[in-house]
Amino acid sequence: MGVIDSTNTEAQRRAKAGHIENCWLVAESQTAGRGRLQRPWLSSSGNLFSSAFFREPGGISIAARLPFATALAVSDMAAIIAPGAPVKLKWPNDARVNQAKLSGILIETGGQGQDFWVVAGIGINIAECPEGTSQATTCIHDLRGDTLISAEDALSVLRETFARRLEQARQSFEPLREDWLKVAEGLGETVRVTVSDSPVEGVFEDMAPDGALILRLPNGERQMIRAGDVSLIGR
């Protein structure tokens, strides 16, 4: 696929029209790439824009694990193609290196029962670090230093790491949760989480068995965060 509005949007269109089987959609560039929280996702040349589409008989309970499984698939891929890069995962599913964003993930679902489907949209900065974004960015080329790798080659590694993590997600959440916590950014530190435009600060204490971020508030209470945007403070 060359230029398209968004691989996630295209997968959804095909799913709604009943014209898609389990597959990966990949674009050279996107004209309307979408990120989490209604943000745009820039299309810098040579980067990877892909969506894994699949039917998921496990329904929403498995889909809820996929932000973490997919982020781990990206960090597994980075360990192979950019070994030694200190990739960390920011809740729920950003992959970052030294607080610069390497990858973003947008999980979308639809259908019901046997027709329940998932689109796991994965954008990875391979050749270019997009500029003009709200946070710093990095890319695989910068992490590898000298030798280049194509988005296509990165994708073939990602497809394998993703298949393994998806299988793990279908079995149980606990091993994924443990792996995710090992590379969690900001764990044990004070973070600011913006929930519906309101910031709340506290110590990022743990991730709950359902994937919620557990925040210890200054008054000692615990708050479970199920949607929001995390930023590290005091670094």
Residues that bind ligand BTN (CB under 6 A): 6-8, 30, 33-36, 39, 41, 49-51, 94, 104-106, 121-123
Q: 117 is written with which tokens?
A: 């489907």
In the DSSP assignment, the letter for residue 114 is G
Q: How far is the CB of 48 from ligand BTN (least distance, A)?
A: 8
Closer residue to ligand BTN, CB minimum distance, 49 or 173: 49
CB 81 within 8 A of CB 149: yes
Closer residue to ligand BTN, CB minimum distance, 49 or 162: 49
Sequence-distant (≥ 6) Cβ neighbours of residue 193 within 8 angstroms: 199, 200, 201, 202, 213, 215, 225, 228, 229, 230, 231
Q: DSSP alpha helices (H): ranges in the chain?
A: 7-16, 59-63, 66-81, 140-144, 151-171, 174-182
Closer residue to ligand BTN, CB minimum distance, 110 or 175: 110
CA dist., res. 32 & res. 109, Å (int): 19
Q: How far is the CB of 103 from ligand BTN (least distance, A)?
A: 8
Q: How far is the CB of 24 from ligand BTN (least distance, A)?
A: 11
Looking at beta carbons, which residue is closest to ligand BTN? 104
Closer residue to ligand BTN, CB minimum distance, 192 or 216: 192
Q: Which residue type occupies 59? A: G
Task: Supply angle C-alpha 2, 80, 170, rounded to 5.
Answer: 80
Closest to 55 (Cα-Cα) out of 25, 15, 7, 22: 22
Q: How far is the CB of 91 from ligand BTN (least distance, A)?
A: 12
Q: How far is the CB of 216 from ligand BTN (least distance, A)?
A: 26
Closer residue to ligand BTN, CB minimum distance, 134 or 219: 134
In the DSSP assignment, the letter for residue 231 is E
Q: How far is the CB of 35 from ligand BTN (least distance, A)?
A: 3
Q: 99 is written with which tokens?
A: 């607080």
Closer residue to ligand BTN, CB minimum distance, 41 or 180: 41
Q: 36 is written with which tokens?
A: 């989490």
